[in-house]
Amino acid sequence: MAGSGEHAGRRRGRLAALLVDASTRALTAADGRVGGVYLRSGTPGMLRLAVLAGLPGPLFRPWWRLHVNRPFPVADAYRLGVPVVLPNATETVRRYPQFAAGLPFQFGSVYLPVPGAQTPFGVLTVLRPSTPESVDEVPGWDLLVQLAEDLGAGMRGLAEGDEGSVVWDDEPLCVRPPAARPAGGRVGRFTWDPASSAVTADDRLHDLLGVRPCDFAGTAQAFADAVAPADADQLLSALSDTAAGKPPSAPLHVRAGDGTPRLLELWPAPMATDASLVSGIVLDPGPAPSADGAADLLPHGVFCLDRMGLIVYANPAAQRLLGPGHTELVGRPVWEALPWLIQPPYEDHFRSALLSPDPVHFHARCPADGDEADWVAVSVHPGPDILTCTVVPANRMDTSVGLAPDDPVTAAVPEAGHTAPVGPSMAPLYRPIALAIALTDAVTARQVSAVVTQELLPAFDGRRLAIYLLQERHFYLAWETGFPQGFLAPFDGVGLDARLPGVETLTHGRPLFFESMQQLAAAYPGIPIDATEGARAFLPLIASGRPVGSCILGFDRPRTFSTEERTLLTALAGLIAHAMEKAQRYDTEAALARGLQQALLPRRLSAHPLVETAGRYLPGTQGMDVGGDWYDVVEAGDGLALVIGDVQGHGVQAAATMGQLRSAVRAFALGDHPPGEVMSGTNRLLIDLDPGQFASCCYIRLDPATGLARVARAGHPPPLLRAPDGRTHILHIPGGVVLGVDPQAQYPVAQLRLEPEAILALYTDGLVEKPGTDIDEGIAVLRVALEKAGPAAGRWHGRSLSGVADRLTATARHTPDRPDDVALLLATRHATPQERR
């Protein structure tokens, strides 16, 4: 077992090395500011951020986990296996509003799938300055594509034949990006070989340590003694852990011999093979970043952060104003040194400064002596490698801190003795906004439940979800994920009098939080427990004062729920309840519409010995899921009428109108009226009904004995005709306006001949129309597909017309988000005895 653990550790180290190398090289290639890699996780359907280069991980925790079906660019690149390029914030908002709601800043981004044998391993991503450039103008595009391919090849090598073993379930490795300009001797790099204990240092590290290369012993112990003699053991332990594939999740905070702070970052070296080499940097924040320490003399506070959130400088005024002294500020992450400054009201401003080029200004409450708190005005100015922050008491801020006199923040500065307002932050609103946006597209109860799985579980690191809906005073399980198979079955159908937390959270109207399974078992003795550890949250789903059901969140480990989290989860439960209530109404109407539609569509098509027909109908998968498309084959005298139509809209009204039109057309056809009269009569009927809808239609009266066909069209796409030799044409026959618009409309009739073994295709626009493309392009694609799908000339053996219909609708059947209904009607005529002679 030990050998197996060591092997896994080495493999993880090599994986981390590949990820860090690809992320940092991608930044250089694309002139980016942030790089990272998302990988598949051990939880099905989840991606995890494995490496983040150029940003402090704690500030971006909401994006550490993403569901593969979430409407985010990372998920699309992974799921579809294609690159996604967003040149600027405008394009990001247009294509991914949920993603933009959480990060509403001015930046562009690139996402490339990391190819595996069957599905991608993950996604390589780069955030870069916002530009109006097109996809083809992304700097270093070819190199980015090559980096993604090389990363995939490296991971296939690590997989050793089992690509499913390459997953990431830990926190992301946060690494420092390449510096935009030389660091002036404050940063030195090194590599350690655990096999020989040899340390190789660059010239800048020798300068930083004050050790000449010829005097440096080059061993791990000598290196540790030179960097941090008082913390040498901690440093050596971190080197060993990194070589075993477990690098520290944050920079090591150590002290030089004179007590000044130093930071160490460690990661497996990219060239590591059997024995994982370790690479790293030593950062000495050093003196003030301003020349000659000029910032030390400024009357207002100045402190500087690097892009990883480490405080690298604080002038005396900042130390006095912020409280901690120099040694408690410099060299520490800002969320540790100044935790009050990285809170939900303010953290969104720091994200903006890290991702956008413009400075941000806000007020914050700075803890003072005793229970009092002082308001301070903070300005954060972005830079390539350093964020420069100025801070002054809010009641004496002036334009010297970098604000214009008419700046809205300056205008809001209070007089002495008054309380300063806090600027609004997007951070605490992110999850409700993202969930609300996602729920607007969810119309069924299952879609609502899927959105909650994708949005709520990753946001709170949850692993289990159950949603119960209340029907006739009993709870019925509507959705579950993550629970052991069959565990929830005994709770399905329980009444309102059951003493269960999922029931009482609704009957009492308040959420229930249990920080451990022991707490849950103590509160509800004898309740079945699905795990020995973990936490649970039971949320009431109440919409407009009406009970809807309950939502259960499960966590794998015990955890506390802060006041903010409890408030947020309660608010999110309200959003879910309203969406679920709307979905229940929709499901009821959709069931009615589906039943109505099934009753109206033909169960069988009229037959003729010389004519073979095949029809297909596919409902749309967006919106009401039921529409007004229909097709029919009706006896018309001694011939057949082939009909296809499309009522505008979806839902019960569209289905009902479709039924009325179908009945009218059948009546006209059974009377063997000419096609033009059929169209005119149906048009007047629809206008008299006045349903506020219109419809397109194509009607063909076919004489099976001769193949003569007469065609009338009302705003419908043109038919296709596949000749016996395989050549397929679009029949551009004349037509009139759609039905239901003009009571005096005329519908010209055209003639054509259906040769034996030719195929006539009628279809609705759902089969050929796609968002963002011209319908003529879709018709041309269908023409080519029909040409390839039919039999070779004179060879119908084993090639049924039904099979052709299946092939023509295959793409539509496998399209998960089909925006419109699809109807298809095919007809072919067999030769008469005379024609066979």
pTM of the predicted protein model: 0.53
Mean pLDDT by 10 residues, the chain (837 residues): 56 83 88 90 88 87 85 90 87 79 83 90 91 67 91 86 79 77 60 87 80 84 89 88 76 74 74 64 60 57 85 83 72 83 77 84 72 73 82 58 33 34 40 67 79 79 89 89 88 91 91 92 90 89 87 90 82 85 75 63 76 86 62 91 86 75 89 93 88 87 94 94 92 91 92 93 89 82 88 52 89 72 91 78
Return d(Cα 204, Cα 206) in angstroms, integer: 5
Task: Determine the pLDDT at residue 821.
Answer: 80
Transcribe 804-824 into DSSP letters.
HHHHHTHHHHT-TT--S-EEE
Transcribe 69-95 into DSSP letters.
TSSSHHHHHHHH-S-EEE-SHHHHHHH
Task: Determine the pLDDT at residue 798.
Answer: 41
| Crossing angle between the packed helical segments 232-243 and 220-227, to the nearest 10 degrees | 130
First to last CA, the chain: 81
> Residue 712: what are its φ and ψ, rounded to 5°?
-130, 135
Return d(Cα 335, Cα 59) in angstroms, integer: 9
* Cβ burial 467-480 (10 Å sphere, 16+ → b, else e): bbbbeeeebebbbb
The H-assigned helical ranges of 739-832 are: 775-789, 801-808, 810-813
Return d(Cα 189, Cα 204) in angstroms, integer: 7
Q: Shortest CA distance to 339 belongs to which of 355, 317, 324?
A: 324
Q: What sign results for the dihedral spanned by CA atoms 584, 589, 594, 596? A: positive
C-alpha 208 chain-centroid distance: 44
Contact indicator for 624, 715 with CB cutoff of 8 Å:
no
Task: Determine the pLDDT at residue 411.
Answer: 30
What is the 8-class DSSP label of residue 455?
H
| Joined tokens for residue 105 | 């800043």
Helix/strand/coil for 347: helix
Q: By CB neighbour count within 10 A (0-12 exposed, 13-18 middle, 19+ buried), where does 340 fall?
A: middle
Cβ neighbours of 544 (radius 10 Å): 9
Helix/strand/coil for 670: helix
Q: What sign results for the dihedral spanned by CA atoms 814, 819, 825, 826? A: negative
Contact indicator for 317, 298 with CB cutoff of 8 Å:
yes
Q: Give CA torsion, residues 194, 198, 204, 207, to 10 deg.
A: 130
Return d(Cα 541, Cα 579) in angstroms, integer: 10
Task: Determine the pLDDT at residue 540.
Answer: 92
